[in-house]
Structure 1
Amino acid sequence: MSRSDFPPSYDDSRLLSNPQPGGGYPASVPPYGFNAYAGQPPYPQPNDPYAGQPPYPQPNDPYRGQPAGYPPPNIPAIPIIPPGVGDNEGFTTTGGFDDISVRHTFIRKVYLILASQLIVTAAIVAIFTFVEPVGTFVRKNPAIYWVSYAVYFVTHIVLVCCQGPRRRFPWNLILLSIFTLALSFMTGNIASYYSTRAVFLALAITVLVSVAVTVFCFQTKVDFTKCSGFFCVLGIVVFVTGIITAIVLSFKYIPWLHMLYAAMGAIAFTLFLAYHTQLLIGNRKLSIGPEEYVFAALSLYVDIVQIFIFLLQIIGYAER
């Protein structure tokens, strides 16, 4: 059987349907079975200025014809998150911020807010202590205290449990201001039941304890943040014991029970102050993220005010 008995191939049929002048293969087409480009580099072009370059763009490869430093085309920018800055309800587990300047700015902001809160509280307590008509009025109208307690409780829950209002400016500062005024009013109301001497002694001891705990936490290698479970249990114990003590004392006043609870509360909130201070520092197992400055200031403020209230109860009882 000769080759003419088979149908023509694709290349032969093209030549038959569109014959080239001179017959046979055109001069530009290599003979059948011969690859003229075998062994040559892929896609070479005469006078190609990019010959030898990789065929695909590489990272940080500038546009051709553009100066170096331009981002590669069609590659979206990826934000760089510093290590240690995460978000798990405001807490990180990598030991704090690696950027020292960010950490120092965060600490300054927290202590500025805390100082403002304490100044407001001290002013209101001074009014309730030194202005006798004001102290008499609030003692005769306990409903005012419970209204302030309700405002304090609601704003405290919102700031602690709701991440959105706590981080959204200016609502976070508005809520923090309302919270500060409510707790300051409660503290002044409690201070109105004690003598001026007891208030000053409690204030002085609170300042000494707060400064000592802060300096200790900045210098010590002891990591209180490793015991977060213990502090959670301690907070529950203090809360439940406070409810039981309030119920018992409402029926019959037992001095030793009141003093026992006051001493336990002062010790517990001193430990809480150490724990929250180390969360603020940022170089321990757990730390507070830099966007949680409101939560950090609120935590330290509550600890210091509670220490003052419990010490005031102890000193006031000792004076009787």
Structure 2
Amino acid sequence: MTQGKLSATNKVNHGSTAETIPPVPPSYEEATADASPCYSGAYPEDGELLTEFSWDDRNIRRVFIRKVYSILMIQLLVTLAIVALFVFCEPVKDYIQANPGWYWASYGVFLVTYLTLACCSGPRRQFPWNIILLAIFTLSLSYMTAMLSSFYNTKSVMLCLGITALVCLSVTVLSFCTKVDITSCQGVLAIFSITVFICGLLLAIVLPLGYVPWLHALYAVLGAILFTMYLAFDTQLLMGNRRYTISPEEYIFATLSIYVDIIYIFTFFLQLCGTTQD
């Protein structure tokens, strides 16, 4: 019987003239459709293989964090340069204070670009439009921050810059080192945000009737604490080892969030500690 099988195999191999075509490998969808063990994690070794290509890989996450903070440093340097120009250069300071229309124009540009980058994933991920929109956003918010700083004393502006830098550096280091998962405290941030929003509305209603220093100081303290918490929250989203993480494709959104947090922390400290010019 064995000889019969061998002879039949020889007839098939030597009698056919066409070459044998190798089978086409299945696609990813076909391989995972039937919960194949090699993709479903049925074997213990699959976790190590999948981490090589997943977004949770340490090298990919490290490159992502480096890219975010590189862009953020450029944004902060641009903002610092514009603030220094508006604070130390008297002709520029007098011009922007005499023409508040530029402030409202920059506010409109800031609002449009912020909503575009925050809500539309297409422009946010498409190069080079994402970089162009982020640059316009940075210039508009830098102009607004510099104009507000021009109404305060130069020493108080420099003091608030130093305080902001120390606070942001401390929060960033603690966010990377602590084991507390701040990304799971979304409810606390939501309640705190509503409290600050109501306090801001109350301040807007009371301000035309008369200046209330304690209410203004309370609003500045609550705002500084809120955006410090947001800075810790957004920083831990970058790390990739918490309950909620951000995709490495969203480096523009991550940079945008941290930059806005730092700018708002500075403006609230300026309202709290800054002294206006005579």
Q: TM-score range by the shorter chain?
A: 0.7 to 0.9
Counterpart CA distance in 2 for 1:291 and 1:234 is 29
* Cα displacement (A) at 1:45: 6.8
Superimposed CA distance per residue, residues 53-88 of structure 1 (whole angstroms, 9 cap, x where no aligned partner) = xxxxxxxxxxx868xxx7x426335599999xxxxx
Counterpart CA distance in 1 for 2:92 and 2:7 is 97
Relative to its length, the structure with more helix (as a share) is 2
Equivalent in 169, 181, 188 of residue 223 of structure 1: 181
TM-score, length basis structure 2: 0.82
Give the 3-state SS of the residue equivalent to 2:176 in structure 1: helix
* Cα displacement (A) at 1:157: 1.0
Residue 26 (structure 2) pairs with residue 75 (structure 1): yes
CA RMSD across the alignment: 3.0
Counterpart CA distance in 2 for 1:248 and 1:50 is 99
- Count of equivalent residues: 252
* Cα displacement (A) at 1:163: 1.2
Assess if the C-alpha contact under 8 Å between 2:156 and 2:275 holds in 1.
Answer: no
Question: Which residue of structure 1 lines up, in the alignment, with residue 190 of structure 2?
Answer: 232
Equivalent in 187, 195, 202 of residue 244 of structure 1: 202
Give the 3-state SS of the residue equivalent to 1:291 in structure 2: coil
* Cα displacement (A) at 1:135: 1.1
Residue 216 (structure 2) pairs with residue 258 (structure 1): yes
TM-score, length basis structure 1: 0.72
Question: Which residue of structure 2 lines up, in the alignment, with residue 48 of structure 1?
Answer: 9
Give the 3-state SS of the residue equivalent to 2:207 in structure 1: helix
Assess if the C-alpha contact under 8 Å between 1:203 and 1:308 holds in 2.
Answer: yes
Superimposed CA distance per residue, residues 98-119 of structure 1 (whole angstroms, 9 cap, x where no aligned partner) = 3100000000000001000000
Assess if the C-alpha contact under 8 Å between 1:276 and 1:299 holds in 2.
Answer: yes
Assess if the C-alpha contact under 8 Å between 1:97 and 1:283 holds in 2.
Answer: no
* Cα displacement (A) at 1:165: 1.0
Counterpart CA distance in 2 for 1:183 and 1:150 is 10
Counterpart CA distance in 2 for 1:80 and 1:270 is 46
- Shift of the 50–117 alpha-carbon distance from structure 1 to 2, 3 Å rule, reads farther
What does residue range 81-120 of structure 1 map to in structure 2 within 5 Å? 97-120=55-78
Where in structure 1 do 4 or more consecutive aligned residues deviate above 4 Å? Answer: 77-83, 317-320
Assess if the C-alpha contact under 8 Å between 1:187 and 1:309 holds in 2.
Answer: yes
* Cα displacement (A) at 1:153: 1.1
* Cα displacement (A) at 1:147: 1.1
Counterpart CA distance in 1 for 2:30 and 2:156 is 55
The amino acid of 1:277's aligned partner reads T
Superimposed CA distance per residue, residues 201-242 of structure 1 (whole angstroms, 9 cap, x where no aligned partner) = 000000000110010011000000011232233334333432
What does residue range 138-217 of structure 1 map to in structure 2 within 5 Å? 138-217=96-175
Assess if the C-alpha contact under 8 Å between 1:117 and 1:301 holds in 2.
Answer: yes
Superimposed CA distance per residue, residues 28-72 of structure 1 (whole angstroms, 9 cap, x where no aligned partner) = xxxxxxxxxxxx89x957241699xxxxxxxxxxxx868xxx7x4
Gaps of 5+ in 2: 13-18, 33-38, 41-53
Give the 3-state SS of the residue equivalent to 1:147 in structure 2: helix
Gaps of 5+ in 1: 1-39, 52-63, 84-95
- Shift of the 285–292 alpha-carbon distance from structure 1 to 2, 3 Å rule, reads same
Superimposed CA distance per residue, residues 300-319 of structure 1 (whole angstroms, 9 cap, x where no aligned partner) = 00000111111111112499
Superimposed CA distance per residue, residues 244-303 of structure 1 (whole angstroms, 9 cap, x where no aligned partner) = 323432342211111111111111110110000000111100011000000000000000
- Shift of the 137–80 alpha-carbon distance from structure 1 to 2, 3 Å rule, reads farther
Residue 91 (structure 2) pairs with residue 133 (structure 1): yes
- Shift of the 162–234 alpha-carbon distance from structure 1 to 2, 3 Å rule, reads farther
Residue 253 (structure 2) pairs with residue 302 (structure 1): no
Assess if the C-alpha contact under 8 Å between 2:72 and 2:255 holds in 1.
Answer: yes
Assess if the C-alpha contact under 8 Å between 2:151 and 2:276 holds in 1.
Answer: no
- Shift of the 203–75 alpha-carbon distance from structure 1 to 2, 3 Å rule, reads same
- Shift of the 176–49 alpha-carbon distance from structure 1 to 2, 3 Å rule, reads farther
- Shift of the 247–134 alpha-carbon distance from structure 1 to 2, 3 Å rule, reads farther
Counterpart CA distance in 1 for 2:112 and 2:31 is 37
Give the 3-state SS of the residue equivalent to 1:288 in structure 2: coil
In our comparison, the structure showing a higher alpha carbon Rg is 1
The amino acid of 2:59's aligned partner reads S
Question: Which residue of structure 1 lines up, in the alignment, with residue 47 of structure 2?
Answer: none
